[in-house]
Chain A
Amino acid sequence: MPDEVRVPVECETDIVVARQKGRELAAASGFRRTEQTLIATAISEVARNIVVYAQRGEIVLCAIESKERRGLKIVARDQGPGIADPELAMRDGYSTTNSLGVGLPGARRLMDEFELESKPGQGTTVTMCKWVR
């Protein structure tokens, strides 16, 4: 299993590809079924954000290691319009597209570490990590 997998996200079918690859890598890293599902779901949310807001971007999946444990890092990157108010975007229920508004804050709840970097006109990068318990 490679340490890093890049999935281009340009259309909605890529969302399924990204989350299935995420599940595979999670399984190889030693995550239990439940945690694999959490990871796949989080990937689905951020991948869809790319498709809906930026049309194209990529998801990079990396197996990571710290002193005592293994984990998975997911970077969802796009060159889209960016988020004007990242703090607002991270609030439950907030949505600019009449969705359920759980995408970003929801993904954060599913993962152990979560970082959002975005400026209007400069695209968006979401970095999330989960560690094997």
Chain B
Amino acid sequence: MPVPILKQGDVLIASIQAALTDHDLLTLRDELADRVGRLRAHGVIVDVTALDVLDSFATRTLLGIAYTARLRGAETVVVGIQPEVAFAMVQLGLSLEGVATALDLEEGLELLRARSQGGRDHAG
């Protein structure tokens, strides 16, 4: 189940539509790594609004996406973590340390804009 990846300016936006298998997550990671390089993106937004569970594997993959993106010069923002999911993640002991987060796509884009202009960062 491919995840649609859109390009808006120099930002790649990956909107996860439904629960992904481990394989799908890894494919997403590789796809994003590839496109960041090819399209010279400076920002990546991964929208997890539709995910009702973010377990340790998914979190690890998100960290992987951010790490690879950073190696290629792009900043990643994870957006759309739902209240129940955020709660479960901290109970589980997962923190997405080092990866920026924002409430939704709009906020994510704003965050990337502010950072690229050397603005103050508010979260992450």
Contact = CB atoms under 8 A, between A and B. Distances in A.
Interface in A49-97: 92
B56 A106 contact: yes
Contact of A15 (B22, B84, B85): B22
A37 B21 contact: no
B59 interface: yes
Interface stretch (B42-50, B89-97, B104-112): B89-97
A100 B92 CA distance: 11
Contact of B56 (A16, A23, A99): A99
Contact of A37 (B56, B59, B87): B87
The A interface, classified by DSSP as helix, strand, loop or mixed, is: helix
A41 B19 contact: no
B60 interface: yes
A40 B83 CA distance: 15
Interface string B29-65: 0000000000000000000000011111101100000
A118 interface: no
The B interface, classified by DSSP as helix, strand, loop or mixed, is: helix
Interface residues of B, number: 22
A107 B93 CA distance: 10
A20 interface: yes
A109 B52 contact: no
Interface string B8-26: 0000000000010111000
A34 B57 CA distance: 20
B103 interface: no
A107 B22 CA distance: 19
A103 to B, nearest CB: 6
A5 interface: no
A109 B55 CA distance: 13
B88 interface: yes
Interface in A100-126: 100, 102-103, 105-107, 109-110
A1 B111 CA distance: 45
Interface of B: 19, 21-23, 52-57, 59-60, 83-85, 87-89, 91-94
Interface of A: 12-13, 15-16, 19-20, 23, 33-34, 36-38, 40-41, 44-45, 48, 92, 99-100, 102-103, 105-107, 109-110
16 contacts: A12-B21, A34-B88, A36-B84, A41-B88, A41-B89, A44-B53, A45-B92, A100-B93, A100-B94, A102-B56, A103-B56, A105-B93, A106-B91, A109-B91, A109-B93, A110-B88
